[in-house]
Structure 1
Amino acid sequence: MKLSRRQLLAASTVAGATLALPGVASGAPNLVRRDRPTLPSGIASADVTPSSAVVWSKTDRPGRLVVQLTSHGRFDKAIHLRGPKTSADDDFTARLPLRGLRPGQRYDYRLGFEDASGRIGQTLDGSFTTPGRNRPVSFVFTGDTAGQGYGINPELGGMIAYKAMHETRPDFFLHSGDNIYADGPLAAELKVADGTIWKNVVTEEVSKVAETLAEYRGRYKYNLMDSNVRSLYADVPLVAQWDDHETLNNWYPGEILTDDRYTEKRVDVLAARAKKAFLEYLPMEHVSGRDRIYRKVSYGPLLDVFCLDMRTYRGANPVPSTVGPVAMLGAEQAAWLVREVAASRATWKVIASDMPLGLLVPDGDLIEAVANGLPGAPGGREHEIAWVLSQFKSTRCGTRSG
């Protein structure tokens, strides 16, 4: 949805407002009527650039996403936008790209869904600020949410790491993969090494390894049950990647499982379901209409973020002594990364890698990541990364590995 100059002028005033503090009305629910669409998983914005953003939400029945957008905090003079219709096919999730935004501007948005009779149900408010030319940029990053059996523990206040990140008031939040642990069932209680008991909220979908589309979706819905997560997503734009645990541990295309916990052994089938759920619940700007996870998010003249996908295009996990090249990024993505980094004029170029480059990550007797731990010439996946680094040469890049 591109906003016209007239629309922008009608809804815009002076730039420079700061992000709202956590706990202030952001994401606060209004009166909920059960005969109208509700917002059980909150709202979010994502992939914010100087001129664009994506907003997202989920409802509980068929409806159409409706958006109010304002740059002065007054919704009585907001721009009203109608987004896509949603259905059970996308688990009642919907996203709307916003284009034609002003750089360096705070925007407040209000999301809801309209039912077939035109009635709008529950609405929630959020905010984001587009990058400006003369303002610094800060961001927080994390990975591995609800892993190793640790889910939402109400006795500790839920996922309080998200609250801590929110309180820093960052410009955006980078989740560098493992947004869920689809292969890690959660139990009601977990005994910790020090003898204490960790108590989880548990739903049916998180009680076993995810195999069905409903179970993958249930993992994302589980995380969004946590008020700390919902509050962060409402106030801080998301930049999301995926890694292995959105599907299952250490997976690669074409793999056939031997894990007895799975009735579906074909990883390609599981990965297709996992990707659909990932794209439904984690909004992002789809380049040229493609459901491609690797992309560049431009944060003004100071920062470009290059998000990699080191899972979809990889070859089979090799043995450490493999001499020949084994794909990690794939030829198209590797060429894209080299080309886009070379073309970037941003002061900082952050390459968000969901896999570590130098850390040894075994997969049984195989290698899961890039480094093989052997001296001498590159081998296996090291070939591809060595080529990329050789193309960069003197280009200075910040890196973040999951």
Structure 2
Amino acid sequence: MDRPLQIIELSKTTLSDVSITRRGFIVASAIAATGMMTGCKINCDEVVKEFPLGVASGEATDTSVQLWSRYSGGKSVRLMIWNKNDVDLRNPLADVPVVLEDGGFAHLQITQLNAGERYVYSFTEVDGSRPTGVYVNGEFRAALAPESLEPVRFAAGSCASNELIPFTLERAGLREDLDAFLFLGDTSYNDGSETVAEYRKRWSKNLKKKGFRRVRARNAVMMTWDDHEITNNWDPENIDPAVLANGTHTYFEHNPLRRLPSNPNQLWRKHSWGRTVDVFVLDSRSERLPSTRTTDQAQYIGPEQMAWLKTELASSSATFKLIMNSVPISKFPGIHALGEPDKWPGYPAQRNEILNFIEGNDIPGVVWLGGDVHFAACGRVSESGPGSESIEITVGPFAQVGNPAAIFLPRDQFDWSTPVNNYAELNFLPATGEVEVVYFGDLGNQLYKKRYQVA
């Protein structure tokens, strides 16, 4: 079920390299580029039936990006790319036929980007040598050059019910000032699905919503999963392998993610934005072993992932190290202890191991980022002991019933909390060593703002 990946080198895919009628396709190029330049409204607010889930980009590096779409028509598809600040409609940087996978999915790796630049792209339907006028557009920013120390602005959140409208994403998707968008899990609630067809139906229900189409068209994404992408509270010890295989396949199928040659199902990886911030994306779900939870060998993440995380944190030259995990590492006191078996605190030996490693080695600039709990909060990971010197930003839900237990978080550990739907903006400011977090609500209203000195 592994998919082929189209790899497109921009310098080798100019319009002169292709066989389609030049004049006809220039018309489509002009239409698509003009639509993109007038804003996301044309393509994102109305569903294009041939491209019902819009477009997405992901895992941007300083030289490459993954582009994605799903096509449901019966013709052919081409991809075009321009530099956003220098659009030459007659000479796109790339103009290539798209190889569609089973189900109409398209995954393309675009290489030879210029670091830090913004690009626009269009998936366009063609009938033989004639463009049909059906297209969907997106844009993204390439990551910063390796030595860059520019400020970086991300947005992040989690938990979007398939039965609710994600107004938070609708507002976030109107912004043009973000460098990337981080999804921390429960991006689609696929509980009860078993077959590929069932998973595809549930993914489509969420991704076709205006909020998802806006955000994914505007920003390169970084992603991890939690449980609901597969089924509620799953772990490797309690799930049917066939269900897991189908859920995993459709997770990668619906998102602009690379499948690593050495381990196609591996989600944990690092994304670097210059020397400003390294993002460590963890897989806190598929390697946990609940049977070890209370032992000295507790495994919340696998030993290879843990060793990788320690090595990369210790060797990182970035000002900030953002650890992105689906479930918070913070120890929430009181009533929250009931949910600990599903979280880092429910695996105390391994939680202490990573927190003691970070604090014991005085690794600067570490910020934890978590979702899942249906409330937002920011503050210290622990009131005392391991984690008492570390900061975590808990985000979401995008669209869920809020968790009222947020109001009981103690203010000697947490600076702020709320159960309302939200997303968070994270500003990494290398000149001062501060990370600024700003939370926004359903109406785009600012809920809270605070800076933390972490580097």
TM range (shorter): 0.7 to 0.9
> Are residue 249 (structure 1) and residue 215 (structure 2) matched?
no
1:26-57 deviations in whole A, cap 9, x for unaligned? 54779x7x9xxx21111111111221111100
Q: Distance in 2 between matches of 1:21 and 1:345?
A: 39
Shift of 1:63: 6.7
Q: Distance in 2 between matches of 1:386 and 1:214?
A: 41
Match of 2:289 among 315, 339, 342: 315
> Are residue 143 (structure 1) and residue 158 (structure 2) matched?
yes
Q: 1:63 to 1:95 in 2, by over 3 A?
A: farther
> Are residue 172 (structure 1) and residue 180 (structure 2) matched?
yes
Q: Distance in 1 between matches of 2:299 and 2:67?
A: 34
What is the aligned partner in structure 2 of residue 77 from structure 1?
A: 91
Match of 1:395 among 363, 368, 377: 363
What is the aligned partner in structure 2 of residue 333 from structure 1?
A: 305
| Structure 1, unpaired ranges of 5+ | 11-18, 153-158, 184-208, 256-265, 373-380
> Are residue 214 (structure 1) and residue 212 (structure 2) matched?
no
Match of 1:60 among 72, 87, 100: 72
Shift of 1:62: 6.8
Shift of 1:127: 1.0
Shift of 1:382: 2.1
> Is the strand fraction higher in 1 or 2?
2
Q: Distance in 2 between matches of 1:358 and 1:134?
A: 29
CA contact (8 A) 2:169 2:211 kept: yes
1:9-37 deviations in whole A, cap 9, x for unaligned? x9xxxxxxxx979645454779x7x9xxx
Q: Spell out the pairing of 1:150-189 with structure 2 (5 A cutoff).
A: 150-152=163-165, 159-169=166-176, 170-183=178-191
CA contact (8 A) 1:166 1:232 kept: yes
Q: Distance in 2 between matches of 1:268 and 1:316?
A: 17
| Structure 2, unpaired ranges of 5+ | 1-6, 17-35, 372-455
CA contact (8 A) 2:235 2:288 kept: yes
Match of 1:40 among 32, 35, 52: 52
Which SS does the other structure have where 1:282 is aligned? coil
Shift of 1:363: 7.9
Which SS does the other structure have where 1:254 is aligned? coil
Shift of 1:6: 7.0
CA contact (8 A) 1:25 1:125 kept: no
What is the aligned partner in structure 1 of residue 329 from structure 2?
A: 357
Q: Distance in 1 between matches of 2:230 and 2:337?
A: 18
Q: Distance in 1 between matches of 2:172 and 2:101?
A: 33
Q: 1:303 to 1:5 in 2, by over 3 A?
A: same
Which SS does the other structure have where 2:345 is aligned? coil
Percent identity for Structure 1 against Structure 2: 25
TM-score (normalised: structure 2): 0.66
CA contact (8 A) 1:43 1:56 kept: yes
Q: Distance in 2 between matches of 1:6 and 1:82?
A: 10
Root-mean-square deviation (CA, aligned residues, Å) is 3.0
CA contact (8 A) 1:252 1:267 kept: no
What is the aligned partner in structure 2 of residue 192 from structure 1?
A: none
What is the aligned partner in structure 1 of residue 389 from structure 2?
A: none
What is the aligned partner in structure 1 of residue 379 from structure 2?
A: none
> Are residue 343 (structure 1) and residue 315 (structure 2) matched?
yes
Q: Distance in 2 between matches of 1:224 and 1:20?
A: 23
Q: 1:269 to 1:359 in 2, by over 3 A?
A: farther
Q: Distance in 2 between matches of 1:180 and 1:368?
A: 19
CA contact (8 A) 1:62 1:86 kept: no
The one-letter code matched in structure 2 to 1:327 is Q
CA contact (8 A) 2:138 2:217 kept: yes
What is the aligned partner in structure 2 of residue 382 from structure 1?
A: 348
CA contact (8 A) 2:281 2:323 kept: yes
> Are residue 267 (structure 1) and residue 267 (structure 2) matched?
no
